[in-house]
């Protein structure tokens, strides 16, 4: 009965109700729609100033639904958060529901402008992010004109026009060339792209959110923070934008006013700004040089060459130039410029000395010193380059680690700053005193909170068991014992490492080298250059310099059986490590004309020639658990060659099934069967294998994994008592 009573009413008013529902839906859509721009205002203990900035944003001609305001309180103690809430609430009560503006107040306890801006960037949802100082006043048309400029220019970043709002009389000595220190920014009176030498103003600038995230946000080391008014943040940001190929514009129609209080119209303020400018310049230079390829071997000498000219300039200004200007009765402005030059020079000296005493931690990742055991290690070079592409400060060094590097990168306030990463330590051939020096350095590294990482790639010293190379094996074990993390290319660490070391072992795949190594020489051309017949069913390749003479004799015996069944060839390159004369090997080779011996150790350009002739690469390791090197097998796979390898912990299960032929280590009969099977096996990498074998992609993934491991190490140090 009730339903029948209401049905005519619904039918009669259906059109009106549907229209009302559509109207309500449109209103809700406007209220929850994503804004076009996000205005981020960072503040610290300046409650009254930030309220004035909010008032200027409240008067914007851009509709409220198209922008949001994010206030980031960087640990204020003057009630900034509560005052912002009261102001916003009062504004909401005075306006209609559809005119509500979106204001959020976030808290960032870690002091520093970069931390506050990055916090606001994480919360922003608009396509354009506008950063506005808390002592700036936005023109009512500022946001509207910024969005119009982005639409018309397709720029990636746009700086606003900044004028000065004098809150005290301008001194007579304050010339126009000093106004930029107060925030003035007017490079042009029209809209135009900024020149490569021009920077955006920190008072008010905007940037596309995706672009800012792509370049890594803001650098904490270069940002203003409590008791450290550093001024190099904008220089660093603009440099990263230009290196990324992004465009930076200036729009004179988008206007803000920067408030100039009386305290900033004192000569002491300008002298102080010059002092911190000097320190900022040194920090910028430090950031630019932190990822240099080689670590400077003479740190003290380089510091001396830097400090002496600065000390000379400082003495000249303080003892000669400034007294002469005073005696000559020069203007106040000239004397102020000389005082600023002296302060800037003194700031540079102070910062250089501070960096010599302690290197700062820039961001969450420490500085990596990649210690290479061999001078021209291709894998270590690729790893260092991949780490730098991941924005990790990575330097390269030989086995002569500088004590000054350890001192400057020691832990600070339970925060790790430096990590020693030994790459293939067993390949190092050190004297007795060099090994003792390394022991002392490792002891100091642990005492000073420098973490130690080692990459165990394996190598010929593991299967060469003569006393001649025992020092290399013992040195490698010593490095592993002092390592906080051991990176190994194996899935069976229990068979390679003793019980105390197993918790530190992490298994990693071995990246490939495609795209970095030269392509293989065409097979016909390789046959001709190596003196091989033009038509062969299979050619085996073995790098004798990575094996012992006993292993090579086993290979020669197995190949003797194979050569009786098919017209195949074996290429041996180099000499065995344990027997440079290789007497027995030479006798066996002389009895088999199917073996081609090249005693000269292969160079980088020879690898492509040998790989071009080979169908399969043989690694005839003996029955030693520690023997084997996955890197050599991966090199063969990068050339799309089949590999014949033993079932050893470093190799078994680490290679693609379709590209690997396994045999029982030390068994000649098993090796013979594997060589026969290689005649009918070919390798074409799939999509996943191709990605792993690609040098750029494979080492990029490796660096990303290492980045996580490094982060875990420094987090562990923070948790230790």
Write out the DSSP string of 389-428.
Answer: HTT--EEEE-S---HHHHHHTS-BTTB--EEEEEESGGG-
Q: What's the pLDDT at 301? A: 63
Q: What's the pLDDT at 294? A: 57
Q: Assign residue 653 a region (left: φ > 0; alpha: ψ between -120 and 50; beta: otherwise).
A: left
CB 66 within 8 A of CB 35: yes
**Bigger pLDDT: 441 vs 97:** 441
583: three-class secondary structure by DSSP:
helix
> Does the pLDDT of residue 10 top 60, yes or no?
no
> For 144, what's the count of Cα atoms within 13 Å in the CB-facing half-sphere?
11
Per-residue burial over 298-327, b = 16 or more CB atoms within 10 Å of its CB, e = otherwise: ebeeebeebbeebeebbeebeeeebeebee
**CA angle, corner 353, sides to 349 and 354, nearest 5?**
115
Query: For 629-685, what is each residue's pLDDT tens digit?
Result: 899 999 999 999 999 999 999 998 888 888 899 999 989 999 999 999 998 888 888
Mean pLDDT across 35-61 = 92
When pLDDT is cut at 50, 70 and 90, the band that residue 295 belongs to is low
> For 61, what's the count of Cα atoms within 13 Å in the CB-facing half-sphere?
10
Q: What are the respective helix, strand and coil percentages of the chain, to the nearest 5? A: 50, 15, 35
Q: What's the pLDDT at 564? A: 87
Q: What's the pLDDT at 225? A: 83
H or E stretch covering 257:
strand 248-260
Query: For 281-291, what is each residue's pLDDT tens digit?
Result: 998 887 777 65
> Does the pLDDT of residue 1 top 70, yes or no?
no
Q: What is the pTM of this model?
A: 0.76
Q: Among 237-241, 389-393, 498-502, which is the least confidently predicted range?
A: 389-393
Rounded to the nearest angstrom, the gap between the alpha carbon of residue 500 and the centroid of all alpha carbons in its chain is: 32
Mean pLDDT across 314-326 = 93
> Does the pLDDT of residue 14 top 50, yes or no?
no
Residues 647, 281: Cα–Cα separation, whole Å: 57
Percent of the chain clearing pLDDT 90 (strictly above): 56
397: three-class secondary structure by DSSP:
strand
CB 481 within 8 A of CB 422: no
Give the closest residue to 555 by CA, choosing from 600, 613, 594, 527: 594
Q: At what angle do helices 14-32 and 2-12 cross, to 10 degrees?
A: 70
Q: To which CATH superfamily is domain 523-693 assigned? A: Glycogen Phosphorylase B; (3.40.50.2000)
Mean pLDDT across 234-257 = 93
Q: What's the pLDDT at 298? A: 53
Beta strands in 202-247 (DSSP E): 204-208
Mean pLDDT across 691-699 = 90
Residues 36, 20: Cα–Cα separation, whole Å: 27
Q: What is the DSSP letter of 546?
A: G
Query: For 356-380, what is each residue's pLDDT tens digit?
Result: 887 776 656 788 999 998 878 899 9
Per CATH, which fold does 33-264 belong to? Spore Coat Polysaccharide Biosynthesis Protein SpsA; Chain A (3.90.550)
Mean pLDDT across 443-464 = 91
Give the closest residue to 294 by CA, choosing from 379, 360, 388: 388
Residues 251, 160: Cα–Cα separation, whole Å: 6
| Tokens read off for 253 | 């129609």
How much is the mean pLDDT over the chain?
86
Q: What's the pLDDT at 290? A: 65
Q: Among 463-472, 514-523, 567-576, 650-659, which is the least confidently predicted range?
A: 463-472
Q: What's the pLDDT at 161? A: 95
When pLDDT is cut at 50, 70 and 90, the band that residue 20 belongs to is very low
Residues 445, 533: Cα–Cα separation, whole Å: 57
When pLDDT is cut at 50, 70 and 90, the band that residue 11 belongs to is very low
Contacts of 393 (CB under 8 A, 6+ apart): 290, 291, 362, 365, 366, 367, 368
Residues 201, 199: Cα–Cα separation, whole Å: 7
For residue 266, what are the CA distances in angstroms to 125, 170, 182, 185, 601? 41, 10, 11, 20, 72
As a CATH number, domain 367-507 is 3.40.50.2000
Give the closest residue to 421 by CA, choosing from 285, 295, 289, 287: 295
> Does the pLDDT of residue 8 top 60, yes or no?
no
Q: What's the pLDDT at 717? A: 59
319: three-class secondary structure by DSSP:
helix
For residue 163, what are the CA distances in angstroms to 191, 257, 317, 374? 16, 5, 33, 58
Q: What's the pLDDT at 395? A: 86
Q: At what angle do helices 233-243 and 267-289 cross, to 10 degrees?
A: 40
Q: Among 56-65, 266-275, 420-429, 687-696, which is the least confidently predicted range?
A: 687-696
Mean pLDDT across 228-253 = 91
Beta strands in 581-704 (DSSP E): 595-598, 616-618, 642-646, 660-663
Contacts of 236 (CB under 8 A, 6+ apart): 219, 222, 284, 287
399: three-class secondary structure by DSSP:
coil
How many Cβ atoms sit within 10 Å of the Cβ of residue 191?
Answer: 19
Which of 179-184's residues contact partners 24+ apart within 8 Å by CB, and which partners?
181/270, 181/273, 182/258, 182/260, 182/264, 183/133, 183/136, 183/258, 183/260, 184/258
**Bigger pLDDT: 533 vs 298:** 533
Residue length of the chain: 721
H or E stretch covering 539:
strand 539-543
Q: What's the pLDDT at 12? A: 34
> Does the pLDDT of residue 30 top 60, yes or no?
no
> Does the pLDDT of residue 37 top 50, yes or no?
yes
When pLDDT is cut at 50, 70 and 90, the band that residue 712 belongs to is confident
Q: What's the pLDDT at 100? A: 72
């Amino acid at each position: 009965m009730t339903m029948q009573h209401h049905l005519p009413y619904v039918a009669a008013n259906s059109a009106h109700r549907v229209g009302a529902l559509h109207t309500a839906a449109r209103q809700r859509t406007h209220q929850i729609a994503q804004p076009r721009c996000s205005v981020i205002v960072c503040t610290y203990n300046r409650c009254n100033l930030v309220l004035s900035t909010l008032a200027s944003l409240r008067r914007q001609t851009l509709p409220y639904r198209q922008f949001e305001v994010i206030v980031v309180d960087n640990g204020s103690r003057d009630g900034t958060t509560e005052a912002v809430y009261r102001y916003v609430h009062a504004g909401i009560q005075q306006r209609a529901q559809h005119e509500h503006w979106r204001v959020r107040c976030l808290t960032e306890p870690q002091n520093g402008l970069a931390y506050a801006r990055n916090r606001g960037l994480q919360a922003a949802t608009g396509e354009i992010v506008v950063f506005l100082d808390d002592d700036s006043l936005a023109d009512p048309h500022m946001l509207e004109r910024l969005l119009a400029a982005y639409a018309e220019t397709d720029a990636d970043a746009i700086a606003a026009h900044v004028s000065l709002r004098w809150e005290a009389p301008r001194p007579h000595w304050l010339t126009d060339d000093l106004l930029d220190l107060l925030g003035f920014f007017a490079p042009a009176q029209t809209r135009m792209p900024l020149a490569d030498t021009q920077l955006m103003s920190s008072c008010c600038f905007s940037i596309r959110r995706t672009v800012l995230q792509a370049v890594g946000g803001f650098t904490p080391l270069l940002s203003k923070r409590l008791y450290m008014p550093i001024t190099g943040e904008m220089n660093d940001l603009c440099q990263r934008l230009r290196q990324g190929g992004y465009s930076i514009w200036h729009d004179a129609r988008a206007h803000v006013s920067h408030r100039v209080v009386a305290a900033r119209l004192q000569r002491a303020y300008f002298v102080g700004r010059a002092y911190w400018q000097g320190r900022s310049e040194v920090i910028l230079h430090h950031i630019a040089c932190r990822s240099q390829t080689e670590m400077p071997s003479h740190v003290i000498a380089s510091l001396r060459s830097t400090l002496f000219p600065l000390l000379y300039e400082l003495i000249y200004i303080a003892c000669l130039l400034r007294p002469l200007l005073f005696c000559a009765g020069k203007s106040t402005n000239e004397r102020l410029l000389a005082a600023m030059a002296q302060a800037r020079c003194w700031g540079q000296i102070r910062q250089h000395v501070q960096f010599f005493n302690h290197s700062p931690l820039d961001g969450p990742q420490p500085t990596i010193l990649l210690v290479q055991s061999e001078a021209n290690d291709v894998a270590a070079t690729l790893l260092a380059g991949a780490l730098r592409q991941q924005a990790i400060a990575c330097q390269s060094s030989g086995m002569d680690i500088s004590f000054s590097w350890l001192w400057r990168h020691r832990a600070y306030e339970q925060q790790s700053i430096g990590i020693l990463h030994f790459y293939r330590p067993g390949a190092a051939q050190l004297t007795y005193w060099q090994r003792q020096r390394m022991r002392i350095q490792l002891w100091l590294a642990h005492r000073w909170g420098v973490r130690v990482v080692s990459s165990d790639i394996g190598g010929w010293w593991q299967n060469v068991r003569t006393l001649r190379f025992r020092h290399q094996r013992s040195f490698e074990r010593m490095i592993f014992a002092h390592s906080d993390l051991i990176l190994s290319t194996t899935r069976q660490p229990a068979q390679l490492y003793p019980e105390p070391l197993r918790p530190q072992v992490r298994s990693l795949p071995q990246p490939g080298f495609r795209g970095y190594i030269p392509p293989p020489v065409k097979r016909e051309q390789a046959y001709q250059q190596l003196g091989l017949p033009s038509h062969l069913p299979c050619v085996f390749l073995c790098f004798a310099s990575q094996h012992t003479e006993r292993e090579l004799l086993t290979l020669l015996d197995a190949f003797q059986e194979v050569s009786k069944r098919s017209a195949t060839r074996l290429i041996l390159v180099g000499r065995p490590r344990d027997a440079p004369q290789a007497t027995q090997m030479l006798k066996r080779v002389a009895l088999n004309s199917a073996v081609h011996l090249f005693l000269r150790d292969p160079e980088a350009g020879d690898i492509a020639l040998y790989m071009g002739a080979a169908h399969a690469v043989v690694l005839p390791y003996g029955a030693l658990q520690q023997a084997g090197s996955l890197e050599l097998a991966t090199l063969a796979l990068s050339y799309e060659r089949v590999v014949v390898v033993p079932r050893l912990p470093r190799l078994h299960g680490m290679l693609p099934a379709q590209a690997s032929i396994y045999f029982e280590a030390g068994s000649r009969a098993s090796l013979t069967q594997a060589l026969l099977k290689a005649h009918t096996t070919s390798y074409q990498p799939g999509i996943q294998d191709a990605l792993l074998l690609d040098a750029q992609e494979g080492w990029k993934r490796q660096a990303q994994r290492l980045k996580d491991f490094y982060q875990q190490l420094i987090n562990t140090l923070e948790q230790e008592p």
